[in-house]
Structure 1
């Protein structure tokens, strides 16, 4: 790639690679996109829209891309029988993954509150009938990847990769080889995937661990951390969908998701088994 830009945003490291020069205006706009997204959705910021909803409930207007995120989260919620839910935020906070990063549980696990009657995600924004702490981490980082790539394409970049610490989307000719990080050893890989134009996202329960059996991937139906799946990877046309499906595969069988989504996957279970879609057979090293 002719040019690259690395930066920190929404709590992770980003890298943008392009065959064309990334001008200072492009770099500034990428940072602006990240800041605007964080100001809406971060539950770790006192001044975010999500934090305001947690205090007062009511309505939070969203930009045009908010409707797509809401539709995806509702689809994943329904396809997983409620296992994926943006209402998991208060359960994560109660287990110690809170705004202050205390990592000290303050309550025993319990199910997230029900979507029906509490949350109404419309084309215009998010409405809560009572205060509640939302968490869009199931698909939000992937959507921000999409927003950055789509912005660069609109600026004339036709060979570009946006990578948010393993959640990535690429447009361009040919393919690149992407390593699948070992869920227990970030210095090694368990396989590789070829990525053309499209998205590859990953989720692993070892990414944010703060106690015995405590990590950031919960089943919203129980409020408990998932202990049967340790890592997932999804290939899909866009990063928001791939990111959301990575989370959904922790709590649902792929067959529950294939009627509504076109994707390929690799799943690694805590007992050492692995499972993949037909197109990714052979992605893991033997």
Structure 2
């Protein structure tokens, strides 16, 4: 628990575990409102449930109205799609399913890797409206968990709860003001840490090839231009003012250097490569162990 004496609300949502810590215990109504936020998000964006909007878009083209926050999510994805030359894309869902990571959790490739379709050929994302010209499998997992953390923080603030700490299975959002010491998980040994960082007000999100991995060298971070898993980077961390941005940048670091991303985003970062080396920003607040 980040703060001794704080109350904790734990639940499962969008396929992962969540813990929300607050100075006082949340009552039943407050908890239900938080879970409603999770359900609305999942009902729109999940590619693992047949009744979601994303599942409908996978069956047929059309115009789909998404929930609050869709415009900001689309703008962020479009920006990173450009900066990564198409490697990071919300159209990666079909590529993931081709390699076995689909709603049936077959975890067996259907065949050779499949590149994601080019954005401008199939997708027109204008604020809350997503229009498609062909069936597409959207997957916003690179930023969605972070955005949901931000939405839960906004819901807490609407209830006049200004101090909170949200842990979305390792992606963290701290409202402040007290910094939290966080261990940085070793990319090859979850029981060890490669360093620590002090997280003040803001978000720390990570991405690693050892998370959601299956088969021989298969994991969830795919290059949209080829449909193949990234090999050179094995783990990343990004700190930003909100969790959606930190989450997205943690994935973008698999495709483009942190220094390049710093030209467009205010954040700090750490990258660990498959050869054991590391790179980090000048403003990185952490300490790496020898």
* Partner residue, 1:219: 223
| Cα distance in 2, alignment partners of residues 160 and 112 from structure 1 | 38
| Cα distance in 1, alignment partners of residues 136 and 67 from structure 2 | 21
* Partner residue, 2:69: 65
Superposition pairs of residues 20-99 of structure 1, within 5 angstroms: 20-99=24-103
Partner of residue 172 from structure 1, selected from 166, 171, 176: 176
State which drifts further: 173-182 or 92-101.
173-182
Give how far 1:64 is off: 2.9
Q: TM-score if structure 2 supplies the norm length?
A: 0.96
Superposition pairs of residues 226-237 of structure 1, within 5 angstroms: 226-237=230-241
* Paired residues of 2:259 and 2:281 also in contact (CA < 8 A): no
Q: Specify the SS of the correspondent of 2:92.
A: helix
* Paired residues of 1:12 and 1:165 also in contact (CA < 8 A): yes
| Cα distance in 1, alignment partners of residues 152 and 246 from structure 2 | 16
Q: Quickly say closer, same or farther: Cα 1:77–1:243, change in 2 above 3 A.
A: same
| Cα distance in 2, alignment partners of residues 86 and 284 from structure 1 | 32
Q: Specify the SS of the correspondent of 1:8.
A: strand
1:23-60 CA-partner distances (Å, limit 9, x unpaired): 21111111111111111011111111001001011111
Q: Specify the SS of the correspondent of 2:49.
A: coil
| Cα distance in 2, alignment partners of residues 253 and 115 from structure 1 | 22
| Cα distance in 2, alignment partners of residues 156 and 249 from structure 1 | 35
Partner of residue 8 from structure 1, selected from 12, 16, 19: 12
| Cα distance in 2, alignment partners of residues 187 and 116 from structure 1 | 43
* Partner residue, 2:132: 128
Q: Specify the SS of the correspondent of 1:43.
A: coil
* Paired residues of 2:174 and 2:200 also in contact (CA < 8 A): yes
Q: What is the RMSD computed on CA atoms of the aligned residues? A: 1.1
Q: Specify the SS of the correspondent of 2:287.
A: coil
| Cα distance in 1, alignment partners of residues 76 and 286 from structure 2 | 29
Task: Tell me, yes or no, if structure 1 residue 116 matches structure 2 residue 89.
Answer: no
1:189-245 CA-partner distances (Å, limit 9, x unpaired): 111111111000010110111111101000101111011111000000000000000
* Paired residues of 2:187 and 2:235 also in contact (CA < 8 A): yes
Task: Tell me, yes or no, if structure 1 residue 141 matches structure 2 residue 179.
Answer: no
Structure 1: segments with no counterpart, 5+ residues:
none
| Cα distance in 2, alignment partners of residues 52 and 109 from structure 1 | 24
| Cα distance in 2, alignment partners of residues 122 and 20 from structure 1 | 40
